[in-house]
């Protein structure tokens, strides 16, 4: 009787990701030398990606819905036009007409049975049913109508304005921020997503100064005595003294409204850098230097504000 060799098996976990550099014969088992629409799974292995779509803050195409209304058509209905119920006042955007079925997107309100449907105040159909959201009983029709609604939303979503590649993207407090060069490629712009699409962030200008003799408040208008330029002071941070020196009692103490600030010793001086002074009758406002007890220690404060040009 012929004796067959024993069957041997080996297990190689799918892990390691896509490797485009190592020759296939030298790659560790489980790595990929080619893939499409797959990504590493957090728990191990690989998984099909969920997909991606355009985004600028407006409604997502994948979340779009459609409405169907059974109609008796009496006039011309153009895709993309807004249709209005003459009695109910309901509105919707025409996605298509399939026989006696009117497919709408972005519907607001409920259409009434028997009311006239109008485009630019001209009657084009009569509603034989109420509007039904995502209600096609045929799977193929449901898929087609959903596709039309998604395309309608997708057409509104625009790329980040500017030229060249996207320099960076991050999300903060559920708002997406993106960087891209301007049209001329001479500077970078920052944009944020909104319900109306990308909105450019306008930056202010920083002015550093010394020799202040009075406190500058938020909203104050300042003017250059020589150049004549004007500006409005606006706050960007709420950083105040964590400690300050009481020159009458000769010690550091914590103010009642304690905030964070940096302080360190440098070349025989106590140097504090902050963006807003703590208001105190014992502490001079503005940029000042004050000699402390002992004669060898100094306290130096630097004050900077963000200002935007006044137009």
- Over residues 29-82, the pLDDT tens digits come to 999 988 888 888 888 889 998 888 899 999 999 999 999 999 999 999 999 999
Rounded CA-CA distance 63/55 in Å is 12
Nearest one of 66, 81, 77 to 100, comparing CA atoms: 77
- Phi first, then psi, for residue 139 (nearest 5°) are -60, -40
Residues paired with 253 in a beta bridge: 244
Rounded CA-CA distance 95/154 in Å is 13
pLDDT interval class at 298 (50, 70, 90): very low
Residue 242: the pLDDT is 35
- Over residues 102-152, the pLDDT tens digits come to 999 999 999 999 999 999 999 999 999 999 999 999 999 999 999 999 999
**Segments in 201-265 forming alpha helices (H):** none
pLDDT tops 90 at residue 85: yes
This prediction has a pTM of 0.58
Whether the Cβ atoms of residue 190 and residue 180 lie closer than 8 Å to each other: no
List the domain boundaries for the chain: 12-51, 61-154, 163-200, 208-309
Rounded CA-CA distance 14/215 in Å is 65
- Over residues 227-237, the pLDDT tens digits come to 888 888 876 54
pLDDT interval class at 168 (50, 70, 90): very high
- Over residues 171-199, the pLDDT tens digits come to 998 899 999 999 999 999 999 999 999 99
């Amino acid at each position: 009787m012929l004796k067959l060799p024993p069957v041997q098996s080996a297990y190689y976990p799918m892990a390691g990701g896509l490797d485009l550099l190592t020759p296939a014969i030298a790659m560790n088992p489980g790595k990929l030398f080619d893939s499409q629409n797959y990504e590493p799974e957090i728990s191990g292995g690989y998984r099909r990606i969920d997909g991606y779509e355009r985004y600028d803050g407006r409604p997502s195409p994948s979340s779009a819905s459609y409405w169907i209304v059974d109609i008796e058509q009496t006039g011309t209905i153009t895709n993309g036009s807004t249709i209005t119920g003459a009695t109910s006042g309901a509105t919707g955007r025409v996605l298509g007409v399939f026989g006696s079925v009117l497919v709408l997107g972005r519907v607001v309100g409920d259409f009434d049975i028997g009311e006239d449907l109008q485009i630019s105040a001209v009657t084009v159909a009569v509603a034989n049913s109420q509007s039904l959201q995502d209600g096609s009983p045929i799977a193929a029709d449901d898929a087609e109508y959903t596709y039309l609604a998604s395309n309608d939303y997708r057409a509104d979503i625009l790329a980040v304005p500017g030229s060249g590649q996207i320099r960076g993207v991050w999300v903060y407090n559920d708002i997406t921020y993106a960087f891209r060069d301007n049209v001329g490629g001479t500077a970078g712009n920052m944009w944020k997503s909104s319900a109306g699409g990308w909105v450019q962030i306008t930056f202010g200008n920083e002015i550093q100064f010394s020799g202040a003799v009075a406190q500058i408040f938020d909203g104050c208008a300042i003017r250059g005595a020589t150049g004549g330029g004007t500006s409005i002071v606006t706050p960007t941070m709420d950083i105040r003294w964590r400690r300050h020196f009481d020159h009458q009692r000769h010690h550091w103490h914590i103010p009642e409204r304690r905030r964070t600030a940096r302080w360190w010793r440098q070349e025989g001086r106590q140097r504090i850098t902050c963006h807003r002074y703590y208001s105190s009758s014992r502490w001079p406002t503005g940029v000042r230097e004050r000699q402390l007890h002992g004669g060898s220690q100094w306290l130096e404060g630097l004050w900077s504000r963000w200002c935007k040009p006044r137009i």
